[in-house]
Amino acid sequence: MAETVLTNKRRIELLEMRGIVKRFPGVLACDQIDFTVKSGEVHTLLGENGAGKSTLMKMLYGLYQPDEGEIRINGKVASIRSPQEAIQSGIGMIHQHFMFVPSLTVAENVALGLKTSFGSMLDLKEISKGLSALSDRYNLKIDPDIPIWQLAVGEQQRVEILRAIYKGADLLILDEPTAVLTPQEVDDLFRILNQMRQDGHALIFISHKLHEVLAISNRITVLRDGAQVGMIDVEEATKQNLAEMMVGRPVVLQYDIPPLERGSVRLELNQVSARSNRGNLGLNDVSLSVYGGEIVGVAGVSGNGQQELAQVIAGLRPIEAGTITVNGQNISGKSPEKMNSLGVSYIPEERMVDGVIKEFTVAENLILQDHWREPFANNGLMLNFNVIQDACRQAIKDYEIKTPSTETPIKSLSGGNIQKLVLARELARNPQVLIAAQPTRGVDIGASEYIHQRILAERETGTAILLISEDLDEIRALSDRIIVMFEGRIVGIVERKDVNIQALGAMMAGVH
């Protein structure tokens, strides 16, 4: 099998989807979509959550059947009724969730999926050899004899790619492959995709991150609400026009930020250390001041102490050493409730685990911290439903939250709408200090822009804001000052005017 794969002759020269329609009860997921991809190109599908990208690709991979339209391979009509048939036609797909037996090796996992092999010793050796050859060719750096559980997420994804190529995928669909990767791993992935493109593979890349799309694509097709908005070559594409096509209205990517009017020190950390969940000093001797009316961005690869930093300020993690003051008051080791009443608001990084109770309704989630306070409760006991409902309707209106009702369980809202509710709740307190951790991760561009505007408006009112984000674009767009964290320490502080992206990247990687 491996020999056939190593030639440059690909079975899929041209794949065409014509007039594809797919309906789900109450939703038109794909409406007359035309999509083509050629050997040797990366064609990107771009669109916000729910635009129909995955649905379209699942039809190509035989997981769904189109209600209308046809698929042609090299000009001939093809019917793909199952993933097996897709694989036979040379189509492979990398899902967001990987399917492996963790205790088995890479080669054994690949063998499991092959019809011809039952995992006999001989076969395994062959497979292992074939996989090594492919791994070298595409620079996947995968040892076929290592058990899956020892691999990081990014490596597991490369195993999925390796497996697909090994099975003879000439066309590879990658459904939001970068969602689970660190920036470094994204670079690795793109190198691999480039190699595959040169080798004549046809690649379909799905994402809603504009800079990635611009970096890897040859052509870009934009979907919105199931409809095809347009198809452009990468040469004509800019972040601006892509964002507008995606969202359907002009989008602000560069904010007009009024000059900094620094107030007094609102939040001060003095040589603070704290342990991470693993027990080591996740936060190591950090000193930091945030002034009223200022946004301090915290950049860094995730896992370098940012989460611990946010949690100690929010009162959710004990500190080992140092002091934290809010408005001059020492608050080290105070409870979350105390922090709240001092005017510290925290938008937590893992919003579905920490920020909301999934099963609670939108209204119930709005009163998470303040459920016992006036006016939501009388005497701290009876919940005041009319007041809660009114407040919730107001928040829905003010923050443009899309929800069928105030009584809808919040888990059925989209990520962006959930985040808007968290924001509404945290800003309603008129905070002195706002900690926003990854405020737009997994959030649509439209909602992200909205959230950014809100954070900037908060800056205008004189709140001290600590913005923690892995998204350098976000940090650069909003911050007055940027601090870089590496291995629990602050390794650099940069003023807005002096920002240099290369230097930031180097500091994030610990080179300084």
Partner 1 sequence: MSIRKRPNIFRGINVERLLDLIPILIALFAAFIVASFLLIALDANPITAFSAMFEGAFGSQNATAETLVKATPILFVAIGITIAFRGGVINIGGEGQMIAGALGAITVTLMIGESLNWLVIPLALFAGFIAGGIYGGIAGFLKAYFDVNEILSTIMLNQIAVQLMNFLLNGPLLDPESGGFNNIPKTARISEVAQLPRLAIFDFFSRTRLHYGLIIAIIIAIIIYVLLWRTTIGYRIRAVGLNQRASRYAGINVERQIVLSMFLAGGMAGLAGAVQVLGLNYRLQTDGSPAGFTANAGFNGIVAALFGGLNPLGAIPASTFFGALLVGAQKMQREVGVPASMITAINGLIVVFVVSSQIFILRRTRRRVGEAIGQMDDNHTEKLKEGEN
Ligand X SMILES: Nc1ncnc2c1ncn2[C@@H]1O[C@H](COP(=O)(O)OP(=O)(O)O)[C@@H](O)[C@H]1O
Q: What is the 3-state secondary structure (H, E, C) of 436-451?
A: EECCCCCCCHHHHHHH
Instruction: Give the H/E segment covering residue 495.
Output: strand 489-495
With respect to ligand X, which residue has the nearer C-beta, 49 or 325?
49
Structure tokens at 195: 């190699």
Neighbour count for residue 345 (Cβ, 10 Å): 25
Distance, in Å, from the CA atom of 404 to the CA atom of 467, rounded to the nearest integer, reads 31
Any alpha helices (H) in 32-71, and if so which ranges? 53-60
Determine, following the binding rule CB under 6 A, whether residue 32 of this chain makes contact with ligand X: no
389 is an interface residue for partner 1 by CB under 8 A = yes
- CA 281 remoteness from chain centre: 27
Q: How far apart are CA 87 and CA 78, in angstroms?
A: 13
Q: Which residues contact 475 (CB under 8 A, 6 or more apart)?
A: 297, 298, 299, 467, 469, 482
# of chain residues touching Mg ion (CB under 5 A): 1
Shortest Å, Cβ 352 to ligand X: 17
Q: Which amino acid is at 252?
A: V
Residues 25-84 that bind partner 1 (CB under 8 A): 25-27
> Minimum Å distance from CB 54 to Mg ion?
3
Q: Who contacts 343 (Cβ-Cβ below 8 Å, separation ≥6)?
A: 326, 327, 429, 430, 431, 432, 433
> Which residue, 128 or 448, has its beta carbon nearer to ligand X?
448
**412 binds partner 1 per the rule CB under 8 A:** yes
When asked if residue 385 is in the footprint of ligand X (CB under 6 A), the reply is no
Distance CA 196, CA 353 (A): 38
Binder of ligand X out of 42, 51, 272, 363 (CB under 6 A)? 51
- Burial of residue 397, with CB atoms counted within 10 A of its CB: 0-12 exposed, 13-18 middle, 19 or more buried: exposed
Measured distance CA(142)–CA(2) in Å, rounded: 16
- Residue with Cβ nearer ligand X (36 or 49): 49
Q: Is 55 in the site for ligand X (CB under 6 A)?
A: yes
Alpha-carbon distance 447 to 453, whole Å?
10
State which residue, 49 or 194, has the beta carbon closest to Mg ion.
49
Stretch touching ligand X by CB under 6 A, among 51-59, 134-142, 277-285, 428-436? 51-59
Residue 31 interacts with, from Mg ion, partner 1, ligand X, none (CB under 5-8 Å by kind): none
How does DSSP assign 396-411, residue by residue? HHHTT---S-TTSBGG
CB 48 within 8 A of CB 444: yes
Q: Does 47 participate in binding ligand X (rule CB under 6 A)?
A: yes
Q: Which is nearer to ligand X, 180 or 387 (CB)?
A: 180
Which residues are CB-neighbours of 194 under 8 A, at least 6 positions away? 216
Question: Site for ligand X (CB under 6 A): which residue of 10, 53, 317, 459?
Answer: 53
Site for ligand X contains 27 (CB under 6 A): yes
Q: Which is nearer to ligand X, 340 or 414 (CB)?
A: 414
- Judged by CB under 6 A, the stretch of 10-18, 34-42, 44-52, 496-504 that binds ligand X is 44-52
Residue 409, contacted partner among Mg ion, partner 1, ligand X, none, CB below 5-8 A by kind: partner 1
Give min distance, CB of 430 to partner 1, in A: 17
Per-position x/- string for 45-74, each x denoting binding to Mg ion as judged by CB under 5 A, each - no binding: ---------x--------------------
Q: Cβ closer to ligand X: 47 or 297?
A: 47
User: Taking CB under 8 A as the rule, does residue 359 contact partner 1?
Assistant: yes
Nearer to ligand X by Cβ, of 47 and 348: the residue is 47
The listed partner (partner 1, Mg ion, ligand X, none) that binds 47, CB under 5 to 8 Å by sort, is ligand X
Q: Residues of 223-239 as b/e, b for ≥16 C-beta within 10 angstroms? A: bbebbbbeebebeebeb
103 binds partner 1 (CB under 8 A): no
Three-state SS annotation for 219-275: EEEEEECCEEEEEEEHHHCCHHHHHHHHHCCCCCCCCCCCCCCCCCEEEEEEEEEEE
How many residues in the shown chain lie near ligand X by CB under 6 A? 11
Q: Which of 43, 52, 301, 340 binds ligand X (CB under 6 A)?
A: 52
Q: Does residue 284 interact with ligand X by CB under 6 A?
A: no
Q: Which residues contact Mg ion by CB under 5 A?
A: 54
Q: Which residues contact ligand X by CB under 6 A?
A: 24, 27, 29, 47, 49-55
Q: Which residues contact partner 1 by CB under 8 A?
A: 24-27, 314, 316, 335-337, 340, 346, 348, 353-360, 364, 367-369, 371-372, 377, 380-383, 385-386, 389, 393, 396-397, 400, 402-409, 412-414
